[in-house]
Amino acid sequence: MIRRCAARFPVTLGGPCAVPCRHHCRSEPPSPVDDDPRGEDSEETPDTSLLTKFHSRRAWGRLLSPLDRVTQMIPPQFISQDIRDLRGAPEIEEREQGPPETPSNSSPGQEDTANPVPQCEDEMGPSRLLGTPFRPGDVLVTEFKKRHYTEFRKMFKLTESGKLMSNWGAIGHKEIVGKLPGQRLRTSIGFEFLLRRPSLEEFVLFMKRGPTISYPKDITAMLMMMDISPGDVVLEAGSGSGGMTLFLSRAVGAEGCVYSFEIRTDHHLIAQRNFRKWKNAWDIWRSHPWPENVHFINKDLSVALPDMKSVTFDAVALDMLNPHVALPALMPHLKQGGVCAVYLANITQVIDLLEGIRSCQLFLVCEKVKEVSVKDWLVAPSIRKDGTISQRVDPQRNAESELQQNESELHSDSEELPETVKPFGQIPYIARPLPWQTGHTAFLVQLRKFQPSPKYMDPEDAR
Ligand SMILES: C[S@@+](CC[C@H](N)C(=O)[O-])C[C@H]1O[C@@H](n2cnc3c(N)ncnc32)[C@H](O)[C@@H]1O
């Protein structure tokens, strides 16, 4: 379902609406200059006391330190005395009394009829908050975390009579049918498993593979390189396991089209099967079906292209061995100024690609060679083995007690916070990169088709 703003602008994920919308548009605070009663052109000597005040606060009354900014967002009753002392009591009091001015003409609690907040149309209404209940045929992800780490994660298809099995117990599919996404259920031996539908990224990472997939982190970078929009016609080779195909299909939408070439029949079938699985799972719970916008073609790209004289591509994505061999056949089909994004595992392959372009004198310019690195972090309250939260270690504490502290953190066994909620800022956190990370996956090359300038003619010769 495409959500639209009141003004019927489609709302895209993460992008701003063309009109102010409560989902996407943040109102900017007034500029400090606006607040200057003397105006920009004032020639008066600045009053230094005023300047000092200006530097310690923004003109709209916000305090500048990170502690101040964070505590401004928290109800005063949850702020501990230590934090109040750190911030200084007068500022808290000032906040409790409310800001000196309200930007709108309406008083607090009163509806601002002059400037109503634009609302997006929402066909689902309040049921959006709950989501769509699980039905047989749904593809789901379940996960179980212990000591901040995911111990078990599985993607499975929900059936009427199946059973989800794990080393942490089983859950009958019957129990899951009718539950809502985000629901936690207990296994037969008492562990809590969270249940939800997978994102496209997760589906691609968990689906059955033939050849290695292009990693979603790289696919999204390639989508940006190609600058694909709904309605575009895109070429892909090879289809492989169909990972990239799914992302391309989503990017071009129902009005666009993907031509996906695969030389091997077994891979061609795997890619088709994965596409169908995702589409079927999507169509079960979404009001708008996933578009049928991919042509899977079981042919060698270099051989098939000359037969497709009339097709022009807005962009091309290549994840195959020796892509430079296919480029001469591909060039007449790529629109002028269009991008061919290439996925290569080794830097020596990048050199071969560029050398192939140079030696064949192809009108392709290499604009970027990049590697996408993503680092996952663990940020969570530090919990002891017995489930209690560790105490903050003050800098004067002796080394021995710190050692004990670290020891107990290491043996921490629980994911849950204890019943009593400590006030904001009172507990220490673990905050460090996760010990295992995805290493190198690929180099991404952005090639753009250009039209050479007309041959230089000496004006004398032209006469
Ligand atoms: C690494 S896989 C692609 C994975 C795919 N991007 C994905 O996300 O699942 C490379 C594929 O390219 C195919 N291939 C190699 N040369 C080809 C060619 N000339 N034409 C079409 N496909 C080709 C291989 O058979 C293989 O399945």
Peptide bond into 242 cis (omega under 30): no
Residue nearest to ligand 1 atom 16, measured at CA: 320
The pLDDT score that the predictor gives to residue 7 is 36
Domain boundaries, given as residue ranges, for the chain: 1-27, 52-96, 128-197, 202-370, 377-414+424-433
DSSP codes, 283-324? HHH-SSPPP--EEEE-S-HHHHGGG-TT--EEEEEE-SS-HH
* 3-state SS, residue 17: coil
Q: How far apart are CA 199 and CA 75, in angstroms?
A: 34
Establish whether residue 214 lines the binding site of ligand 1, counting it when its CB lies within 6 angstroms of any ligand atom.
yes
* Mean pLDDT across the chain: 79
The pLDDT score that the predictor gives to residue 393 is 67
Residue nearest to ligand 1 atom 10, measured at CA: 320
Q: Mean pLDDT, to the nearest integer, of 10-39? A: 35
Ligand 1 nearest atom to the CA of residue 300, by list position: 20
Q: Mean pLDDT, to the nearest integer, of 212-241? A: 98
463 pLDDT tier (thresholds 50, 70, 90) = low
* 3-state SS, residue 164: strand
Establish whether residue 238 lines the binding site of ligand 1, counting it when its CB lies within 6 angstroms of any ligand atom.
yes
77 pLDDT tier (thresholds 50, 70, 90) = low
pLDDT at 111 over 70: no
CA of 294 to the centre of ligand 1 (A): 16
Percentage of the chain beyond pLDDT 90 is: 55
* 3-state SS, residue 50: helix
Residue nearest to ligand 1 atom 27, measured at CA: 240
CA of 278 to the centre of ligand 1 (A): 20
pLDDT at 118 over 50: yes
CATH 3.10.330.20 for domain 128-197, yes or no, is yes
For 180, 181, 365, the CA distances from 171, given in Å and listed in that order, are: 15, 16, 55
Ligand 1 pocket test, candidate residues 212, 295, 320, 325, most atoms within 8 A of CB: 320
CA of 3 to the centre of ligand 1 (A): 35
Establish whether residue 321 lines the binding site of ligand 1, counting it when its CB lies within 6 angstroms of any ligand atom.
yes
94 pLDDT tier (thresholds 50, 70, 90) = very low
Q: How far apart are CA 441 and CA 344, in angstroms?
A: 9
180-184, 359-363, 388-392: lowest mean pLDDT where? 388-392
Ligand 1 pocket test, candidate residues 247, 261, 262, 272, most atoms within 8 A of CB: 262
The pLDDT score that the predictor gives to residue 426 is 84
User: Residues 140-177: pLDDT tens digits?
Assistant: 999 998 877 889 999 999 999 999 999 999 999 999 99
Residue nearest to ligand 1 atom 5, measured at CA: 240
Q: How far apart are CA 435 and CA 311, in angstroms?
A: 48
- In DSSP terms, 429 is beta-bridged to 381
CA of 316 to the centre of ligand 1 (A): 13
pLDDT at 65 over 70: no
21 pLDDT tier (thresholds 50, 70, 90) = very low
Higher pLDDT residue, 119 or 244?
244
CATH number of the domain located at residue range(s) 202-370 in this protein: 3.40.50.150
The pLDDT score that the predictor gives to residue 333 is 97
The pLDDT score that the predictor gives to residue 389 is 76
Q: Which two tokens stand for residue 391?
A: 């105490």
pLDDT at 370 over 80: yes
CA of 227 to the centre of ligand 1 (A): 22
Establish whether residue 264 lines the binding site of ligand 1, counting it when its CB lies within 6 angstroms of any ligand atom.
yes
Q: How far apart are CA 176 and CA 174, in angstroms?
A: 5
* 3-state SS, residue 445: strand
Place of tokens 């606006």: 34
Name the burial class of residue 204, with classes exposed (0-12), middle (13-18) and buried (19+) by CB atoms within 10 angstroms of its CB. Answer: buried
* 3-state SS, residue 381: strand
59-63, 77-81, 202-206, 288-292: lowest mean pLDDT where? 59-63
Ligand 1 nearest atom to the CA of residue 343, by list position: 6
Angle at 39 between CA 101 and CA 48, to 5 degrees: 80
- In DSSP terms, 383 is beta-bridged to 389
